[in-house]
Chains A and B, each alone.
Chain A
Amino acid sequence: MNRTRRNVVGGASITVLAAAALGYEGWRHFAKHYPPTPYDDLLSLLSDREAAKKVGRAFLATNSGFVPAHAAAALRHRIGAQSLDSVLKDELTRGNLIEAGHWLLPQTLVGLCALAAKT
């Protein structure tokens, strides 16, 4: 590699690294961050926590007896080692649906949403 070529490769690498660093900072700056909660293992199953919070709040508006710690324990027990997809499929087969803001949703999904709304 001659000197000129080494300079080009080096410059490009620096540019890529700088762009990556900027991108990371941008993501850190703009992306929503949530403080740690005791339920992060469950909340990480939600694809969009903000949307889930809205659904959860609608559910909680008509279900006042929701206790996050109890609900989380029940959800962990229900989900166990299964994927969320598998749990939902099972609930949909059994017809375990409840209303959140009048939307019919699988029970576990509504539980996760209510948990999100409480955090």
Chain B
Amino acid sequence: MAFIDARQIPDGTELTPDLAIIGGGPAGIALALSLANTPIKMLLLESGGMEFDAATQALYAGEETGVRYIALDATRLRYLGGGTNHWGGWSRPLDRIDFERRDWLPFSGWPFPREDLEPYFARAQHLIEAGPFLYDKLAEGVLPGPLLPLGKGGLYNSFFQFSQWHGNPQHLPTAFGHRYAEQLKRLPNLQLMLHANVTGLRLAKDVRWLDHLDVATLSGRKFTVKPRHTVLACGGIENARLLLASNDVIAAGVGNQNDLVGRYFADHAIPRDNATLVLFGGEIAGYYKTTKDAQGAHFRATISPTEGFRRERQLLGALITVEQHVELDALGRAAVETASGALGIDASDSHAYSLGVGLELAPDPDRRLTLTDDRDALGMPRLKLNMTIADDDLTRYREVLNEFGRQLLASKAGMMRIDRHSRAEWLSVMDWGNHHLGTTRMHDDAKQGVVDANSQVHGLANLFVAGSSVFPTYSASNPTLNLVALTLRLADHLKGVFR
């Protein structure tokens, strides 16, 4: 069935699907695909169209305070496919430790272990088109060049895999909207509506049931959707906004009885050029600096703290990447000469590289989204983000770098310079992953989480949340693979709900 244009829906219409999916990003599309050919009549409501539109994108504008962050209308895209329209395809599954409650990390832990998500990784990997699910197993096979010899220690060679849309001549990462449009049109149990903005989640009087959704278009049409069940899949920022803004019955907003919605916002901090790596004996293998192909995967190596090291030293996730070749200054050359001489190593063919990293931030309830008095073109309150990064987050990463430097010297492979020291220096090179996490966190206890282990909003029997906003802790791994896997798990749960 062709996609429906919401601007053609008559005012006052009431639609009654079994399941409403709000948002056509990777979570919404993965959910629709995984519920294909079931008796569940789905309606997917996407705010945008098939391409970027400035007026629709402007609905995302908001304010930021605190640590410098990306403008709220620049860090995401509001048309079918959502964030996958501008993602880099970087993929890596969460580790076991990321699901664990750690006494030394407040607010950590998922309500289920990684094993519960594992059955869904293979299908998620298929949907994002990142090749065979290998990741760290790549180290066991043939690679185009040697692994960095790290010896014994807290860091190891790990791997990203990359989404590649093979139907695209440039092999760009899979943009879910365009990639799956035809497939979605063929689903007999799906209606997909473009230009349909959900502006309110309206509760029944007993506040235990979501009664209907208010929908509006930028052209001025208004209608309602009265589904049996609803999945909110608008991304880590907009999910919180819609819940908070739906405050006509519960003043704090839907699902926000315990003042958790919008709190614990997180992204992956990416301080550029934060350290310099020197290898004594020649160039590093190309797959550390850029993507390469091996074993059927498009991949790139990263250096990461092991789970054991993270537990022992109370560290967060960090995925270090080798960036560019750099020239050393006189002191750098002297340091290499001194260290290699003392270790009895010939460093006449040494090479230096700048390092980047993706960093996990500790959950922080004050890193949060709140509503402002400003309103968008549809009358929805805009958001303000208070962004924070703790000194501890940076200190923990420094410990990772110290261990990296130690391992390089101990294995007589190279050495390390740490290039950022003060908080101001770190912040001056800070970039962000555009990964919006944690704002509707998952926890068994309604006082500590917005949704339960099945992604159902606590206290509301027919409202679920999909996407990385439910991640209570998230490591440094890019979220798309993981949120798609979690969505497939939600799809299985919904099949049971509708049975």
Contacts and interface: CB of A to CB of B under 8 A. Distances in A.
B339 A105 contact: yes
A104 B399 CA distance: 12
Nearest to B333: A51
Interface string B336-355: 01110111100000000000
Contacts of A88: 342-343, 409
A92 interface: yes
A92 B330 CA distance: 25
Interface in B397-412: 401-403, 405-406, 409-410
A50 B337 CA distance: 10
Interface in A46-85: 46-48, 50-52, 54-55, 58, 84-85
The residue among A46, A85, A92 with the most chain B CB atoms within 10 A of its own CB is A92
A51 B330 CA distance: 9
B415 A105 contact: yes
Contact of A52 (B334, B403, B406, B418): B334
A88 B344 CA distance: 11
Interface string B56-88: 000000000000000000000000000000000
A58 B405 contact: no
Interface residues of B, number: 26
Contacts of A4: none
The residue among B332, B335, B410 with the most chain A CB atoms within 10 A of its own CB is B335
A65 to B, nearest CB: 20
Contacts of B332: 103
Interface residues of A, number: 28
B335 A101 contact: yes
B417 interface: yes
Contact of A48 (B331, B341, B401): B341
A99 B339 CA distance: 12
Interface in A93-114: 93, 95, 97, 99-106, 109, 113
Contacts of B342: 45-47, 84-85, 88, 106, 109
A102 B425 CA distance: 13
Given A88-B343, A104-B406, A47 B331 contact: no
Interface in A1-53: 45-48, 50-52
A55 B409 CA distance: 16
B375 interface: no
Contacts of A104: 401-402, 405-406, 409, 415-418
B418 A97 contact: no
Chain B facing A: main interface SS = helix
B344 A85 contact: yes
A113 B410 contact: no
Contacts of A51: 333-335, 337-338, 341
Contact of B334 (A45, A54, A92, A99): A54
A104 B408 CA distance: 10
A79 to B, nearest CB: 12
Nearest to A83: B344
A93 B406 CA distance: 8
Contacts of A92: 406, 409-410
The residue among B331, B402, B418, B421 with the most chain A CB atoms within 10 A of its own CB is B331
Contact of A103 (B403, B410, B417, B421): B417
A95 B343 CA distance: 16
Given A92-B410, A102-B421, A104-B406, A47 B337 contact: yes
A105 B335 contact: yes
B283 interface: no
A8 B334 CA distance: 48
Interface in B343-379: 343-344
Contacts of B392: none
Nearest to A109: B342
Given A97-B405, A104-B415, A109 B339 contact: yes
A3 to B, nearest CB: 51
Nearest to A47: B341
A102 B406 CA distance: 14
B338 A106 contact: no
Interface string B407-436: 001100001111101000000000000000
15 contacts: A47-B341, A54-B331, A55-B331, A58-B331, A88-B342, A93-B410, A95-B403, A97-B406, A102-B417, A102-B421, A103-B339, A106-B342, A109-B338, A109-B342, A113-B338
Interface of B: 330-335, 337-339, 341-344, 401-403, 405-406, 409-410, 415-419, 421
Interface of A: 45-48, 50-52, 54-55, 58, 84-85, 88-89, 92-93, 95, 97, 99-106, 109, 113
